[in-house]
Chains A and B, each alone.
Chain A
């Protein structure tokens, strides 16, 4: 019955919006943390930032430093800073939908907040000024939180940092990956047209 379907669809959409509003609640709260960056320990980016502020960059760089291999890895392993994790993430996130970029910036504000740190992990210092042990505890608290939203926040930062770190060629040998092979010279295969070249149809 179309009528029933339509009503069901409206209800479903209403539920979705409600869930979406609640789901976005945590990030909305980030706006109520005006002092989150008051004492952020800044780091110098390598170049001009495209999306993040200096404070946001500093939080991301501090988190990436803990998400990448730490001191126990030994000197062979470059730091997250050495492969410019935060700078590469800034460049990437400058390209995504502006709304997604804004969410990411709010997430970094939450991550830095001492108030949030105190509530989530009993660590009241800004993330950038916390000890390495406290920073790991904060990441662990977000990661294992019973609140799905905190787990989402952890995954957002974790994935970006680790994807950036481990896709860097200087890491390949350290994880036993020899890198892309040489492309063999095969007989020329039919290819697609390249603008503005015209390539005749390839017999099927």
Chain B
């Protein structure tokens, strides 16, 4: 080991530079950070390349106008190619963990069983993962759910679900010393969030890893069944245009952790490791359907921990697509994006912002016959995400809207409003039938995704998966994937903890690989 490493800003790199290390890790979020830490602590020389910038608590000003362009993919403009689903996905040192809402769940056992039974995943059960979950939970200070974390927005979900017997649960959060400000999605100004940047990336650097911000990896270069190097554009942070180039040579291997959209896109762009025909296929999003409710008393959903209550009562609906409920914070910009209409009609809704409660239903895609979406890269290198809403998901969305409305009516909402372009106002059970009759095509109802999964699935069949059940590429022996793209389906819970734990397990195996 050569002593501590450091984080290097792209601005400090010359026009052309190269490095040679044992492992190159692409991406610094949940998967990349823990992989870098494990590998660096094993004595390997590690470089982490991150497309986004390096920001710390001093930069996090809690302003949406700064945070979304600076900390999210496509400067906050990432969507499916038909613009029907907004994609909230992080892009900075720490990746998605810099902006996630801290919700932490272990991978549900039914999901692990589904992967084993139908997707050829081997040797990946709850017992195998348990020590890795234990370690990550300790490092991220994930304790039991805390009732003091429940703000008014979440309390309405908790109260309504409890009244209906739908078993709300407290969400475990990756925080320490949280002041409950409510700005997790814009970067924590206190570093109270235990993000990848404040935990595993710090460990990786302490063990000697070099982390390069502002480096967009363009190509993975392979030769005779092995990857040799990656090439990256070094971005000028102000313009986001390339200003220099970095070539990172990997003596022992390359670990991809650029997320479930950018990792498949990188392989497609590189024309590398595509033998299975599965790269960029079966992308899952937990397509998310919001519903708002108006209360007489202030809710102030812009303050307090964004997510502290979940309801998984409908996660298993048998032959139908399941869903679960959580809440979303509503700051003015996110609220404006979600609310339908324009001009004065939109403004009148915005004026009620402090009294709005927002419940969201996350559809558990990929567990039935819905094939998910796909990632493509066009000739100019632009990443495109295609995600048609399968009929079974549409059914689940309509059902979920009615169930969310029932929760909020039970909690005492004055009225509930769907986010169809022609909203449906619900004041009682009798109004719910209108939901099924309303159009639900692309851009006829607000939808978003904060959970991107799949696109480079794991499994032991090289014809049906991209990597094996330990993340190693089937055809390229020194290429691994350790991010959310390995999941054969969506998880049915928020993914950050699953990504950390799987990546930690995989990295432990990688570290045993002979030089």
Smallest Cβ distance from A85 to chain B, in angstroms? 11
User: When chains A and B are docked, how far (Å) is the Cα of A191 from the Cα of B6?
Assistant: 13
Smallest Cβ distance from B37 to chain A, in angstroms? 10
Q: Is B146 an interface residue (CB 8 A)?
A: no
Neighbouring A residues of B8 by C-beta, 8 Å = 195-196
User: When chains A and B are docked, how far (Å) is the Cα of A94 from the Cα of B65?
Assistant: 16
Q: Contact: A77 with B443, CB < 8 Å?
A: no
The A interface, classified by DSSP as helix, strand, loop or mixed, is: helix
Q: How many residues of B contact A (CB 8 A)?
A: 89
User: When chains A and B are docked, how far (Å) is the Cα of A189 from the Cα of B203?
Assistant: 15
Q: Is B423 an interface residue (CB 8 A)?
A: no
Which residues 47-61 in B have Cβ within 8 Å of A in the complex?
A: 54, 56-57, 61
Q: Contact: B442 with A152, CB < 8 Å?
A: yes
Neighbouring B residues of A162 by C-beta, 8 Å = 336-337, 342, 346
Q: Contact: B12 with A99, CB < 8 Å?
A: no
Q: Which of A7-15, A38-46, A54-62, A122-130 contacts B (4 or more CB under 8 A)?
A: A7-15
Render B186-204 as a binary contact track against A, CB cut-off 8 A, 1 for contact: 0001111000011101110
User: When chains A and B are docked, how far (Å) is the Cα of A195 from the Cα of B205?
Assistant: 11
User: When chains A and B are docked, how far (Å) is the Cα of A155 from the Cα of B76?
Assistant: 14
A-B contact count (CB 8 A): 223
Neighbouring A residues of B61 by C-beta, 8 Å = 180
User: When chains A and B are docked, how far (Å) is the Cα of A5 from the Cα of B465?
Assistant: 10
Neighbouring A residues of B69 by C-beta, 8 Å = 92, 95
Q: Which of B18-26, B121-129, B276-284, B495-503 contacts A (4 or more CB under 8 A)?
A: B276-284
Q: Contact: A152 with B62, CB < 8 Å?
A: no
Which residues 12-50 in A have Cβ within 8 Å of B in the complex?
A: 12-13, 16, 19-20, 23
Q: Which of B217-225, B347-355, B408-416 contacts A (4 or more CB under 8 A)?
A: B347-355
Neighbouring B residues of A77 by C-beta, 8 Å = 347
User: When chains A and B are docked, how far (Å) is the Cα of A183 from the Cα of B62?
Assistant: 10
Q: Contact: A69 with B75, CB < 8 Å?
A: no
Smallest Cβ-Cβ distance to A6: which chain B residue: B277
Q: Contact: A97 with B380, CB < 8 Å?
A: yes
Smallest Cβ distance from B79 to chain A, in angstroms? 9
Neighbouring A residues of B342 by C-beta, 8 Å = 66-67, 139, 143, 158, 162
Q: Contact: B337 with A177, CB < 8 Å?
A: no
Counting from the closest, the 10 A-B pairs by CB-CB distance are: A2-B463, A9-B277, A180-B62, A201-B206, A166-B336, A151-B443, A69-B347, A167-B333, A167-B65, A176-B354
Q: What are 24 A-B contacts defined by CB distance under 8 Å?
A: A2-B462, A9-B277, A20-B376, A92-B69, A92-B75, A95-B69, A95-B240, A97-B381, A99-B378, A99-B380, A136-B343, A148-B443, A152-B82, A162-B346, A166-B335, A175-B350, A180-B62, A189-B192, A190-B198, A191-B198, A191-B202, A192-B197, A195-B12, A202-B199
Interface residues of B (CB under 8 A from A): 4, 6-9, 12, 54, 56-57, 61-65, 68-69, 74-77, 81-84, 86, 93-94, 138-139, 176-177, 179, 181, 183, 189-192, 197-199, 201-203, 205-207, 213, 239-240, 276-278, 281, 302-303, 331-333, 335-337, 342-344, 346-347, 350-354, 374, 376, 378, 380-382, 384, 386, 421-422, 441-444, 462-464
15 more A-B residue pairs beyond the given contacts A186-B190, A201-B206, with a C-beta to C-beta distance below 8 A: A5-B276, A9-B277, A20-B386, A23-B82, A77-B347, A95-B75, A152-B84, A155-B443, A163-B76, A168-B65, A177-B302, A180-B181, A181-B62, A202-B199, A204-B138
